Chains A and B, each alone.
Chain A
Amino acid sequence: AQSVTQPDIHITVSEGASLELRCNYSYGATPYLFWYVQSPGQGLQLLLKYFSGDTLVQGIKGFEAEFKRSQSSFNLRKPSVHWSDAAEYFCAVGASGGSYIPTFGRGTSLIVHP
């Protein structure tokens, strides 16, 4: 069975600082990996996804993520955080093929200090 772990419940950064949110997955084969963002009172928005190919994936809002098979990780990064990036971030892992539905991590809350 697939699973995903987000080790950090909360992350606090200063505006303008760089950001890295951690995500570790467990799955036997090559997984499909996703990052979503949720602003307060809203639904989730897909930031980026990895299916295959280049292990560095570019997403919306200036985010990127790197798939590292050897570490079973798919960490989300942003070089310079803006106050509007404060939100909840979810990593998800999906199985390849069929109608498998992604499993979500428990989320990391990003706090941005001015």
Chain B
Amino acid sequence: NAGVTQTPKFRVLKTGQSMTLLCAQDMNHEYMYWYRQDPGMGLRLIHYSVGEGTTAKGEVPDGYNVSRLKKQNFLLGLESAAPSQTSVYFCASSYQGVGNQPQHFGDGTRLSIL
């Protein structure tokens, strides 16, 4: 009964380094999302996917790339990390339904860029 699993849970990077955050869901959901959460800013959508092989930009996509090669996985990449990308990143998933609201969230990845 895993739901949405994010890997890693914590990471510290130096400016300019790259990394990939992994999100895996075992509920056969069509939709997957990546959000970032910053103090006082709520959640802002980075990218999302409405199905395997598809991705789309959200509100704050710059500096990030994503891939959805398998339905259960949604990867978020930082090619050249910047201090402004220090944040808590959440992955979420949902079935393809009315409202398209994220239903299940992972516990987050806390990322610090030095």
**Interface set of B (CB-CB < 8 Å, partner A):** 4, 31, 33, 40-45, 48, 50, 56, 58-59, 90, 92, 98-103, 105-108
> Shortest distance in angstroms between B44's beta carbon and chain A's nearest beta carbon?
8
A44 B99 Cβ-Cβ under 8 A: no
B90 to A44, Cβ gap below 8 A?
Answer: yes
Check if A34 sits within 8 Å of B101, measured CB to CB. yes
Q: Which of A41, A94, A105 is in CB contact (< 8 Å) with B99?
A: A94
Task: Tell me the bound Cα distance from A43 to B48 in angstroms.
Answer: 17
A41 to B110, CA, bound (A): 10
- Tell whether A46 is near chain B: CB-to-CB under 8 Å: yes
- A41-94 with Cβ < 8 A to chain B: 41-46, 49, 51, 90, 92, 94
Q: Could you tell me the distance between the alpha carbons of A51 and B99 in the complex, rounded to whole angstroms?
A: 7
Contacts of B56 in A (CB 8 A): 99
- Chain A nearest CB, measured from B91 CB (Å): 8
Minimum Cβ distance to chain A for residue B103 (Å): 6
CA distance A44 to B102 in the complex (A): 9
B102 to chain A, nearest CB (A): 7
B99 touches A49 (CB 8 A): yes
Residues of chain A lying within 8 A (CB to CB) of residue B103: 46
A106 CB contact (under 8 Å) in B40, B90, B105? B40
